[in-house]
Amino acid sequence: MSAFYASNLVLVQATLVAILLALSIQVPLRLGVFSLAGVGSYGIGAYVSANLVLREEMGALPTMLVSGLVAAAVGLLLGVIIYRLAGLYLAMATIAFDLTVGVVALNGGDWTGGPVGLFGVFTNLTMGLLFGTVVLVLVLVHLTEVGRLSRRITTVREDPELAASMGVNVRAYRLTAFVVSGFLGGLAGCLNTLTRSAVGLQDVSFHLVVVALTTIIVGGALSWRGAVIGAVLFTWLPSVLEVVGEWQEFVYGLIVVLAAIFLPTGLYGLWCSVRRWLVDRMRPRPRPRPGSEPRPEAPSAAAAAEQEVAAR
Amino acid sequence: MQELVAIASLGSVYLLFALGLSTAWGTIGILNFAHGAIFVSAAYGCYELLEVRQLPVPVLAVVAILIGATMSLLMQVLVFDQVRRRATSERAAETRILIGGIGVAMLPIALASHQTKNLAFGLSASGFEASIWTVGGVRVSSIQVATVVCAAGAAAALAWYLRRTRAGLALRSLGVDDQVAALMGIDRRRYAWATMAVAGGLAGLAGVLLTLNLGAISAESGDALLIKAFACVVLGGVGSTVGVVVGCFTLAASEVWVLTQTSGMWVEAVSFGIIFAVLLLRPQGIFGRQEVRRV
Amino acid sequence: MSVVVLAGCGSAGPAASGPQGGDGLPDTVRLMVSVPLTGPAAFAGTEAEKGYELAVEEINETGFLGEGVTLEIDVKDTQASVQKAASDFTAAVSDPEVSAVLGSLSSGEAVAQSPIAENQKMPTVYIQAGSPGVVLGDYTYRFPTPMSAYYDVLSQYVEEQGWDSVGVVYAPWIPTLKDVGEVALPAMAEELGMEVTASVATQQTTQDFTAPIEQVLATDPDVVSIIQAGPANATAMQQLRQAGYDGPVLGNSSAGAGTLAPAGAAGAGMVWPVDFAPGADDPASQEFVELYREANDGEDPYPYAAEAYDAVWFVARALKEADSAGREEVKDAMATIAAQPWTGALGTDREFEDNNLVVGGVAIEWDGSQENVLYSAER
């Protein structure tokens, strides 16, 4: 067991949780659903899991499943109610949902511990289970980014009317986005509580919306790799910025602004275009149409991102 | 009766703050998350200025409007315009402008928190003392009156401008369909700059008035207002001036009512509940005419 | 194997257990200081840091730990982030050089650090952090008890004034203030036979206090209590005056540090309890004030500095008692020290209760431009 790993264990755990939280926002985004409800689900998962462990003395795995499912059920209910909304209106409605979860957490009495929160949440969660869960989620998400399903998702996002005329049930896809977002958010919240052994109002604050959004915008909104890049970056940034000391907030803001302006497809999109440019330089040869040659190693989501870059 | 005064002054603060937010959102499609940061920066700028020299309140108000307008314009030119130019689609631009706003907001706030160590600051150095008048058993302070007058004036001027002038018409047409508006020869960028400058100026004015009214704010005070303003805008209908006025006073009234009728624990939930309920029942808001994009 | 206990790649492995216990102190003893230097609690953090530095300097200059032994502190900014606070703490646990940790003064951060402290057997001394869940067991100590424990120092003042009823506007979203508003203040009122005419909760986003103040004044209390944090203190005072109430106001210690200055004359007349005041007449406190003024160009210390100073001294005395830098030995020595009367910046001959230092409290009045000591608690 390496000393580095031991002394940075909290950051490793936090990175894994941040990946799940980012995915809970990213999955609906890929379906063209600008929902930030994942943050509210995170809060639900965080408090539900604390109660399951403290009151029912449940083990780690069932706690994770139940927390995820409860948050997914709430997500479904929310989706049924507001799936008609789009764009900024949907974002606003889901932010209202997130903040409502926060108010409930503050006023929940013994169930939430009010302003203090709940602590002493110890379970038999192991790092192996934590890693395994996140890897499993990433594999499942990856499967939605390749092949036919990926093309359908892209169509639902870019042109819902076209998708509907092709026989894709757009409504079902959108509702699924809410459910998946709820489950992932709930799971993230649950794992955060289990690794921190405590839950408090900081787990239901508006700040998390900012964190999750910046994570995927800077990392890249169209592939799980973007979520991973963003999560690693923003989890480890505070320790790196310690050298900046008092000005870290400023630097953080600057990074977000620059990413919003200059990285339309995030760091992952940038990496794809750089790689592509390199490949083109290395192997100069006439090509009938850019991007038409089959490249099995590049998933279609990335390809779409590249085409977006190329199109400009 | 005393409650009515509370509602009027609270609603007016919301209104000054939300007017610019709503106009920018409804006409040029920018939901500016840095609006709260502009508000705080203007108040903070005045506070720093007072450290250097004594100024009367009307001069401070003008300074605050200038600070707000300048900051807002800079954001538009340096950030939002750049985002729009590089974004791949309108929807992507919306998301990125939202994020850009969040990022931009961090910059002045980080500066102000650093300088004040996050302690409260106020404008008492201006020597301003609110006078209190008692009318029929109801107490009203001069700063409350000033806030209500400023808010009413700003709302009326904005409504008149959008309704009755050619430029206002052009601006509203951008909100309805910017592509058609562009074909009609309306220069979107120029209008965007003007709108953002006015919105920023109003936020700056709100910053000084609220700081005088409250006595003190801190670098973090903008965030709370931002959420409330969203609620007001959504409630009244995006882009409708009358709607924002109604939205702000409705929210203020419901908050004061909840506060006086209960122990106050659920005041927060009022604004979120309103956002939610309105989006559900009447997504365009009470006075919104703009068709919400449906799926 | 829980994740909170460091599990190396799924297999059980104890964390670094700190410096070797046993014979005498090493040449350098290291402590980690976790303190918010940025974010909402930045002011408290920077003031506390001065107290930590002062104590270390004094301990090293006087050779308190013995010939050639120096105490070193490694200050880590929590950046107002619970995650960063927990992460720095874990890093300290796995650093074999660190003997003890001075934990964060911010409740949310402290609650995240304490489970790690107890699990990983790291002696930890907190200051301020008044929430439940901070002091959990043998490894966690706090200077001083939360405010609600010494709030009743105001009883004497209230009795002198002869009030029969009180109306409260409080902020239940901050653990310490919720405790004062819902428990300590009503308990004090009951003790003195006062009626609580109204108790209004305000929320984090409440900036305008006109309505809650009206509501409280409508019940016609003899005295008003404002239990708020940050700029809300100044706002509530100003609006209370505008609403026609001009009597004294019972407040809380977060109104200190010049928080009321923006309210100008309207702020005058707020009274609150503190655990430490530079003007209090305790000889040990006065000694600390002298020392602090010398080190900081004559400025007066805030309570945070006094608490931090005592926290370092507490660890130092434990180190000397244990004659070892080992964590277990330090923990055992802390229990020994805590069983004896404590004399330091926070007062003379104080007792510990459940690992919290009990203070009598000092009643402070703000006169519109500065804090004045009304009296100290009867000992």
Q: Tell me: the pLDDT tens digits for C325-366?
A: 999 999 999 999 999 999 999 999 999 999 999 998 999 999
* Helix, strand, or coil (residue C202): coil
Q: What residues of chain B, 160 to 199, have a C-beta less than 8 Å from chain A?
A: none
Q: What is the pLDDT of residue B289?
A: 57
Residue C92 has pLDDT above 80, yes or no: yes
Q: Which pLDDT tens digit goes with each residue over A127-182?
A: 999 999 999 999 999 998 888 888 888 888 888 888 888 888 888 998 999 999 99
* Alpha helices by DSSP H, chain C: 42-61, 82-93, 107-119, 147-150, 155-161, 175-179, 185-191, 210-217, 231-242, 283-295, 303-322, 327-338
The confidence band for C48, taking pLDDT boundaries of 50, 70 and 90, is very high
Which residues in C have their CB inside 8 Å of a CB on B? 38-43, 46, 172, 199-208, 210-212, 214-215, 230-231, 233-235, 237-239, 242-244, 257-259, 261-264, 266
Amino acid at C301: P
Which is higher by pLDDT, A167 or A16? A16
Closest approach of chain B CAs to the CA of A69, in angstroms?
23
For residues B152-176, give the mean pLDDT: 80
Nearest CA distance, A189 vs chain B (angstrom):
22
Least confident among A36-45, A152-161, A210-219, B83-92: B83-92
Measured between CA atoms, the residue of chain A closest to residue C86 is: A10
Report residue B263: phi and psi, to 5°.
-80, 0
Using the predicted structure, report yes or no on whether residue A70 has a pLDDT greater than 90. yes
Considering only alpha carbons, which residue of chain A is nearest residue C171? A115
Q: How far is C372 from chain A (nearest CA, A)?
A: 32
Residue C192 has pLDDT above 90, yes or no: yes
Where is pLDDT greater, at A220 or A136?
A: A136
**Mean pLDDT, chain C, whole residue set:** 89
B204 or A119, which is more confident:
B204
Q: What is the pLDDT of residue C247?
A: 93
On the question of pLDDT at A32 being above 70, the answer is: yes
Q: What integer is the mean pLDDT of C141-159?
A: 93
Residue A94 and residue B276 in contact, taking contact as beta carbons nearer than 8 Å? no
Band of pLDDT at residue B28, cut at 50, 70 and 90: confident
Using CB atoms, which residue from B6, B139, B265 is nearest to C172?
Answer: B265
pLDDT band at B47 (very low <50, low <70, confident <90, very high): very high
Q: What is the mean pLDDT of chain B?
A: 83
For residue C41, name the pLDDT band (cuts at 50, 70, 90). confident
Tokens standing for residue C62: 């006087």
Identity of the residue numbered B272: F
Report helix, strand or coil for A287. Answer: coil
- B108/B66 Cα distance (integer angstroms): 16
> CA gyration radius for chain B?
19
The pLDDT of residue A146 is 87
* pLDDT interval class at C165 (50, 70, 90): very high
Q: State residue A297's pLDDT score.
A: 43
CA angle (A223, A78, A193) in 5-degree steps: 65
User: Confidence band (pLDDT; 50, 70, 90) for C63?
Assistant: very high
The pLDDT, as a whole number, for residue A152 is 87
B224 to chain A, any CB pair closer than 8 A? The answer is no
| Residue C37 forms contact with A (CB below 8 Å) | yes
B-chain residues near C35 (CB < 8 A): none
Predicted pLDDT of residue A311:
39
- C3 to chain A: closest CA residue: A126
Q: What contacts B98, CB < 8 A, 6 or more positions away?
A: A88, A91, A213, B31, B33
